[in-house]
Amino acid sequence: MTPPAVDWIDHPAAVALAGRHRVRAWEVIPWLLALGFYFAFPKYLGFGTELLITILFALSLDLVLGYAGIVTLGQAAFFGAGAYTVGMLAKRGIWNEPITGLILAAAVAAAIGLGSGLVLLRTGGLTLLMLTLCTMALLEEAANLAHDYTGGFDGLDSLPIAPLLGRFEFNPLYPTTQYLYVLAVLFVCFVFVRTLVYSPFGQSLTGIRENTLRMHAVGAPVRWRLVLAYALSAAIAGVAGGIWAQANAYVNLGTLGLDRAATVLIILVLGGYGRLYGAFVGAVAYMALAHFLSKIYPTAWQLGLGLLLVVIALFARNGILGLTEAAARWRRAPRAIS
Amino acid sequence: MLLGGVAAGMVLFIVSVGLSVTMGLMGFVNLAHGGFAMLGGYAIALAMRQWGLGFVPALGFGFVVIAVLSAVLERLLYSRLYRATELDQVLFSIGLVFMMIASVTVLVGPENQPLALPSYLRGQINLGITQYRTYSVFLIVVGILIIIGLWLTFERTRAGAQIRAAVDNRRMAESLGINIGRLFTVTFAFGSGMAALGGGLGAEFLGLDPQYALKYLVYFLIVVAVGGLGRVTGVFYAALLIGVLDFALKKYVPSGGTAFIYALTILLLLWRPQGLFGTKST
């Protein structure tokens, strides 16, 4: 007796797997909202620009932490590297064209990510955590010491950034150009990350995160995949840093600090890591709360943030998006039984 | 000259030893450890100022308060996360630090808390060869007493043997009937109490304000990582090394000192990921 022929192409699992990367209708919504924000709140565009940059930075961390599963406390090292690349080149009058400036920022950050990743990613666990932290602290100290080039503690201000495409000036007071420029860059980077995580390369990263030993066993070049993911994530963080320096026309040591690294980690976890839109949800929730609460009740803000982190770590490990997914499953569940 | 660095190293050791044991024994990345040191420093400073407690009784008071507080936290919250991922532990303990900083800011205020040393610890002491600050000598004596006490506890008592067994192989120790849960709570409370002690002892030159919890955290972590997880003597040597290096570098190379310590830590950890004195983990 021959088993009945099964058409695997039409099998629900195969269809689900093949269709995983398809663009869903709701994926347009965040971008429409971002565009709508431009027209609806012209007074808050400075805040909006900062928000979009934070999303981009959180997205870079999502690639390395959420997908590749590398727990790093030093992501701000690459943000700072990008910011200082743009800042130093512009201040010295070597290069101030924005778009190529971003590419240079990405290249420098990626080089640092590749170099440090090659040596750091031999280790794991607490040692890796400490090494990423120390690398960032070392870069911060280096930037502090080399103040002839970096401006030291004061940083570099009033950077002369050339108009975008030779036409659109960056005006710090009316950041309309900045907002649209950052939105466009975020979109390009997002499409890149989205393509990447659904590619076989991205799948192998998820595999390494879930079971490193098994990925070794099936012959995946684990270490190279991790180093490459680390460098790519560094490049995106470098773009975020570079665009931050361009939009604000200054850089300071804060771009390299533990504060920034911890904040972006909190944002990503708040939104939900290992999910493409976690960076978006987390950044919006965090920045909105921080913007309106921290100025009025700074201490209560810190207390609330601490409480929130404790609650997330104990009860809601997948962040806001994880909660909504759980709610959706819970609503669907009774129907599945009946 | 060197004594100042050694004294700083002693304080680093007293604070970090608890962190090393928590991380080594329970595998918990506890970034809130500096927070316990900060809270302990506050308890000690406030007890001295409000109730007129002497310095040494206040140190004991701080130790007990923080040990009890951390035992409660361990039972209620930490114990839920022992099997969680590092990321969850990091987030949880960062959240805890934020809450500690905010609570202290609200209850006591954001300004630096002065800690007045008793008169017998101020001034200089004649060591025969040279005059030296009494307090530094006091710290060194206290540090040496503590390391001897800890070493004896670790190597010569039943509880110490249980802790060493649990650090080396937790499941095997559990199979042998060691009550791991109770061991964890007691060790955690003791380590946090030591941190409180260190917070009080070091307040004289590290200062004491709410940001203490994060400001020196990197130093404590470096000491633990260099010394090796769960190794008391390793942490002792690492703390002395970092303390003396930091002191000497700040004195002779005021600008590049900190960078050198970070660079040294990176190189050390790349050379020996398990720390200078640690053994390879399984």
Per-domain boundaries in chain B: 2-271
Contact between B169 and B46 (Cβ < 8 Å): no
At residue A176, the pLDDT reads 77
**Tokens at B110, concatenated:** 């954001």
Residue A11 lies in a domain: no
Q: Which two tokens stand for residue A27?
A: 């994926």
Question: CA–CA distance from B198 to each of B7, B27, B73 (Å)?
Answer: 11, 22, 20
Overall average pLDDT of the A260-288 stretch:
87
Q: Across residues A4-28, what is the average pLDDT?
A: 73
- The architecture of the domain spanning B2-271 is Orthogonal Bundle (1.10)
Q: What is the pLDDT of residues B112-125, one digit of tens each?
A: 777 777 777 777 77
Q: Which of A9, A176, A158 is nearest to A90 (CA)?
A: A158
Residue A338 has pLDDT above 60, yes or no: no
Model-level pTM?
0.84
Q: Is A32 within a domain? A: no
Number of domains in chain A: 1
Select from A255, A7, A303, A242 the least CA-distant residue to A106: A242
Whether residue A334 lies inside any domain: the answer is no
Please compute Rg for chain B using Cα positions.
Answer: 18
A126 CB near a chain B CB, below 8 Å? Answer: yes
From A156-165, A273-282, B235-244, the region with the lowest mean pLDDT: A156-165
pLDDT of residue A58: 92
Confidence band (pLDDT; 50, 70, 90) for A2?
low
CA neighbor of B39 nearest in space, from B188, B198, B204, B150 = B198
**Can you read off the two tokens belonging to residue A225?**
């995949």
Q: Verify whether the Cβ–Cβ distance A312 to B91 is below 8 Å.
A: yes
Q: What is the predicted pLDDT for the residue at A334?
A: 59
Q: Is the minimum CB–CB distance between A123 and chain B shorter than 8 Å?
A: yes
Q: Any chain B CB within 8 A of the CB of A127?
A: yes
Asked whether residue A232 carries a pLDDT value surpassing 90, the answer given is: yes
Question: What does the pLDDT read at residue A4?
Answer: 63
Domain that holds residue A74: 43-280
DSSP state of A64: I
Which of A67, A310, A318 is the best residue to mutate to test the B interface, defined by the most B CB atoms within 10 Å of its own CB? Answer: A310
Of A125, A135, A262, the CB nearest to B94: A262
Question: Which residue did the predictor score with more confidence, A259 or A58?
Answer: A58
SS3 content of chain B, % helix, strand, coil (to 5): 75, 0, 20
The string of pLDDT tens digits covering residues A43-68 is 788 888 889 999 999 999 999 988 88
Contact A317 B274 (CB under 8 A): no
Suggest the residue from A112, A129, A134, A286 to mutate for an interface test with chain B (most B CBs closer than 10 A).
Answer: A134
Given this model, what pLDDT does residue A337 score?
Answer: 46
Burial B1-36 (b: 16+ CB within 10 A, else e): eebbbbbbbbbbbbbbbbbbbbbbbbbbbbbbbbbb
- Which token pair is B230? 């769960």
- Does any CB of chain B come closer than 8 Å to the CB of residue A303? yes
Is the ipTM of this structure higher than 0.90? no
CB distance from B95 to chain A under 8 Å?
yes
Residue B3 has pLDDT above 80, yes or no: no
- CA of B273: which chain A residue's CA is closest? A127
- CA-wise closest residue to B25 among B177, B182, B144: B182
Answer yes or no: are the C-beta atoms of B135 and B204 closer than 8 Å. yes
Region for B230 from its dihedrals, namely left if φ exceeds 0, alpha if ψ lies in -120 to 50, beta otherwise: left
State the pLDDT at residue B180.
Answer: 82
Convert B35-101 into a string of H (helix), E (strand) and C (coil): HHHHHHHHHHHHHHHHHCCCHHHHHHHHHHHHHHHHHHHHHHCHHHHCCCCHHHHHHHHHHHHHHHH
Shortest distance, CA B191 to any CA of chain A (angstroms):
19
Chain B interface includes A65 (CB < 8 A): yes
Asked if residue A100 belongs to a domain, the reply is yes
Distance to chain A for B120, nearest Cα, Å: 39
Mean pLDDT value of segment A286-311: 80
For residues B249 and B255, what is the distance between their CA atoms, to the nearest angstrom? Answer: 9
Could you give the CA distance from residue B18 to residue A26 in angstroms, rounded to a whole number? 50
**CB burial class (10 A; 0-12, 13-18, 19+) of residue A165?**
exposed
Q: Strand, helix or coil at B247?
A: helix
**Could you give the C-alpha distances from B61 to B17, B41, B66, B74, in angstroms and in order?**
19, 11, 9, 20
